[in-house]
Amino acid sequence: MVIKKQKDFKRWADQARVELAGRPPDDLHWKTPEGIQIKPLYTSKDLEKLDNINSLPGMEPYIRGPKATMYAGRPWTIRQYAGFSTAHATNEFFRKSLASGQKGLSVAFDLATHRGYDSDHPRVVGDVGKAGVAIDTVEDMKVLFENIPLDNMSVSMTMNGSVLPIMAMYIIAAKEQGVPPEKLSGTIQNDILKEFMVRNTYIFPPEPSMRIVADVIEYSAKHMPKFNSISISGYHMQEAGATGVQELAYTLADGLEYVRAALSAGLDIDSFAPRLSFFFGIGMNFFLEIAKLRAARVIWYKLIQQFNPKNPRSAILRTHCQTSGVSLTEKDPHNNIIRTTVEAMAAILGGTQSLHTNAFDEAITLPTQLSSHIARNTQLVLQHETEIKRVIDPLGGSFYVESLTESLVAEAEKLIDEVERLGGMTKAIINGLPKQRIEESAARKQARIDRGEEIVVGVNKFQLPSEEEIDILDIDNKVVRKTQIELLKKIRTERDQNACENSLKNLTIGAQTGEKNLLDLCCIAVKKRASVGEITDALEKVFSRYKAIPQSISGIYGAAYRGDKGFKKIQAETENFASLEGRRPRILVCKLGQDGHDRGAKIIATAFADIGFDVDLGPLFQTPSEAAKEAVENDVHLIGVSSQAGAHKTLVPSLIDELKRLHAENILVVCGGVIPTQDYDFLSSKGVAAIYGPGTNIPAAASNIINLLITQRNLS
């Protein structure tokens, strides 16, 4: 029988070689970006040495799902991540979504709130209400959930840096609605470690930030038994460019660090571990994403065993998933509906507990009512029309999926071991290793796309001859900010100022001594109508505000183009400019406002450096005046503004005005990132020299910029 199988396999291989004659060998042999070798054929032989092949759903190590019946017993929860403008506008959106079949709420907060600033702070002029809902006080939070019964509504809140005031405002808003903390259900993200790695909406340094995480876990364990006190997020790692293995490993390593933080605060493993949850991004490598969720449950089960849990639920990984934002394209955007559907199916087949599907226009701007409706209905169709929920783990036993799951477990455990050797994730983050690895992966991926090695339909292949404009949601940031400032003034006038100030002083003392739970103290301050900014300031007096040192990698992007004639031509254009100008072209790559998503800025910085530019990478969270000052001091030829959070219409004109004030009008300003084409004319009228939207080929953009500089300077 064995001989027969060997003969059969040889006959198949011979037949495959004939069929593939004249085609590249990679058609049969492929290695993923994670470094996993994928065979063209998997058979039962690939399952012979796998330990978990006979596992059942709901049984250790939970490879086939955390519950015995999975969706056959209860379908996944349909969530929609939303928040924009004011609390009132977002509340209306929430209530419409719930009436249309949505089962849980996921709140997106604006960047001012994330970074602990009130709406009247001068550093957030362009950010208020733009990429999420503005929350300044508990009165905003009460409006946000008006006519939404919090005792029977699961609420997820994506909040990390400002987790203390936001969590406190949610608790007090619920109490004033008549709902005690013990009846609240849902999840707070509270995952600060990944902020230092990729998303950057941190406030305080790592060590005090970890104390805050532990205090939130402790408070929730005591007072909110139905609430998940942390959602350990890999999603933002994937968005920043992490491979599937990196996302898997670093997310679970973060989880391990949070467990240790809670244990060091005196909590028993079984008092909090059953309420830990995870959050993964789901990209376009369909089978790998399915295997990733299965591998995550296996690894987490193994990691938790070292803490000797008595409750089996302490070792079960439960996860929310969101379809990829970075896979969405500005070009031919209706393709994004297809991408989101594929990704949603991968999350479901992998066994997610809840799911958010992105809207097709999110590579351009905030989703409209129509695009949100399509995104939500994608899940409704999958849940009610496909019968996908009838069978538990339908790909269990698949030769390919089981083998891929095992490969992911093995590769992720190598990275986790590496983090552990550095002393855990907090020390690894301070060391900078995970961040560097993710940025290198992002640069490699962008190079593959720019070279056409990784196909993105409508972007680098099968492009439309012309693009149609689509309707977009445009938030008037100035109106929102004015509204919020008026509300703040009203609350500060009407509150008991002495009581508020005393509560804030007690919060500062609590931060100094460590004797009281900080979330407890924040609840008291919120009840006295202290604002997000005031609570942050009270903590900042002790903890300080963290400022990362900007760093960029080099050589990774250029290495992908080694020997490429087109790339050498653009490098020659750069050298020609240097000979004409007397120095190399110098660019300041900057982020303005409170947008911490720096993947695009980092990729541009490394790619342009490899092309031959001198590159200055500005620090995060610059104001227009700070960026202009740095550009003048460094004598740059141009500023490249990377925008993702929609503040470009406010902040970029301010930057150009600052350059004029400094008599530096000769410094060109170009913009890149998530900028709707409808805004191009406005930005051009304000003096922006060029705009490069999502999907722009970087070498082509560099060549265009060289020509702009030569024309501007009349060089020949």
Active-site residues, by number, are 81, 235-236, 591, 595, 597
Per DSSP bridges, beta strands 319-323 and 586-590 are: unpaired
Residue 146 contacts residue 194 (beta carbons within 8 Å): no
248 in Cβ contact with 296 (< 8 Å)? yes
Query: Which tokens sit at 90?
Result: 């977002």
Count of other CB atoms within 10 angstroms of residue 601: 25
229-256 burial code (b ≥16 CB/10 A, e <16)? bbbbbbbbbbbbbbbbbbbbbbbbbbbb
Q: What are the residues facing 461 on neighbouring strands?
A: 457
Q: How far apart are CA 82 and CA 371, in angstroms?
A: 12
Helix axes 518-527, 163-177, angle to 10 degrees: 60
- Residue 68 identity (one-letter amino acid): A
Q: Are 668 and 709 in contact (CB under 8 A)?
A: yes
The two structure tokens encoding residue 318: 């439960």
> Are the C-beta atoms of residues 655 and 622 closer than 8 Å to each other?
no
CA 197 to chain CA centroid, Å, is 11
Partnered with residue 366 across adjacent β-strands are: 473
The secondary structure of 288-341 as a DSSP string is HHHHHHHHHHHHHHHHHGGG--SSGGGG---EEEEE-STT--SSSTTHHHHHHH
Nearest to 659 by CA among 592, 605, 612, 716: 592
3-state secondary structure (DSSP) of residue 497: helix
CA max distance for the chain: 87
- Using alpha carbons, list the distances in angstroms from residue 169 to 348, 399, 521, 531: 33, 49, 12, 9
Helix/strand/coil for 116: coil
User: What is the C-alpha to C-alpha distance for residues 126 and 476, in angstroms, rounded to an integer?
Assistant: 10
Cβ atoms 447, 454 nearer than 8 A? no
Look at residue 434 and give its three-state secondary structure: helix
Question: Are the C-beta atoms of 317 and 350 separated by less than 8 Å?
Answer: no
Nearest to 167 by CA among 141, 199, 134, 132: 141
> Using CA atoms, how far apart are residues 127 and 385, in angstroms rounded to an integer?
40
Nearest-angstrom CA–CA distance, 640 and 600: 11
SS3 content of the chain, % helix, strand, coil (to 5): 55, 10, 35
Q: Are 630 and 591 in contact (CB under 8 A)?
A: no
Residue 220, CA atoms < 13 Å, CB-side half-sphere: 29
Nearest Cα to 63, choosing from 49, 52, 75? 52
Structure tokens at 514: 């460590």
Angle between helices 599-611 and 698-712 (to 10 degrees): 70
Number of CB atoms found within 10 A of residue 74's CB: 11
Q: How far apart, in Å, do the first and last CA atoms of the chain sit?
A: 76
Give dist(CA 134, CA 85) in Å, integer: 6
HSE value, Cβ hemisphere, 13 Å, CA-based, for 620: 26
Report the C-alpha gap between 322 and 189 in whole angstroms.
Answer: 14
Look up tokens 């379809």; give the residue. 323
Strand partners, 232: 278
